[in-house]
Amino acid sequence: MANRKIRVLLAKLGLDSHTVGITVIAGALRDAGMEVIYTGLRQTPDMVVQAAVQEDADVIGISSLSGAQMQHIPKLLDRLRSAEADDKLVVVGGVIPDEDAAELKAAGVDEVFTMGARTEDIATFIRTWWEAERR
């Protein structure tokens, strides 16, 4: 199976319109050889789950720069569980206060990358998980 690729779904939830970060990440993950499904702005948890299922994404990446992460992301994790799609890696990036990051990780988010995280580290984190879980 020479043709296996990591598929990553990137989305922004709710009324968060800052797209620079997510665009940079999309390019960096593409350059790391991954297939990035970019869904854009104003997604609901249900939309993200349906897209992740239809696309058979291995990884869901949520960018949050609006401060509403605690409102949307637990809901997303919930919906993933009810869709039996909670075997996917969920990573969150953006402006996330430490206490939110801890709470998100306790709720099931696999990793939180805050401002200053290097794109190579994000790609490496994803690839390491994939080699261990999906290979």
Partner 1 sequence: MERDPIVLAERALGGHQGAGARLIRMLEEGDEGATEGLRAVLPSAGRAHLLGVTGPPGAGKSTLVDRMAAEYRRRGSRVGIIAVDPSSPFTGGAVLGDRVRMHDHAADPGVFIRSMATRGQLGGLARATFEATTVLDAMGYDVVLIETVGVGQDEVDVADLAHTTVVVSIPGMGDDVQAIKAGILEIADLFVVNKADLPGADRVAKHIGAALHMRAAPIDAWQPPILMTEAERAGGIVDVIDGIDAHRAHLRSSGGLDRKVIRRRERVFHDVLRERAAARALACAPRQGAEILSAMRSGELDPYTAVEALLGVEA
Pair 89, 127: CB distance under 8 Å: no
The contact mask relative to partner 1 for 18-47 (x = CB under 8 A, - = no) is --------xx-xxxxxxxxxxxx-xxx-xx
d(CA 36, CA 5): 10
Within 13 Å, how many C-alpha atoms sit on residue 81's CB side?
8
Q: How far is the CB of 106 from partner 1 (least distance, A)?
A: 25
d(CA 55, CA 60): 11
Contact set for partner 1, span 48-87 (CB under 8 A): 50-51, 53-56, 83-85, 87
Contact set for partner 1, span 84-113 (CB under 8 A): 84-85, 87
Question: Residues interacting with partner 1, by CB under 8 A?
Answer: 1-5, 7, 26-27, 29-40, 42-44, 46-47, 50-51, 53-56, 83-85, 87
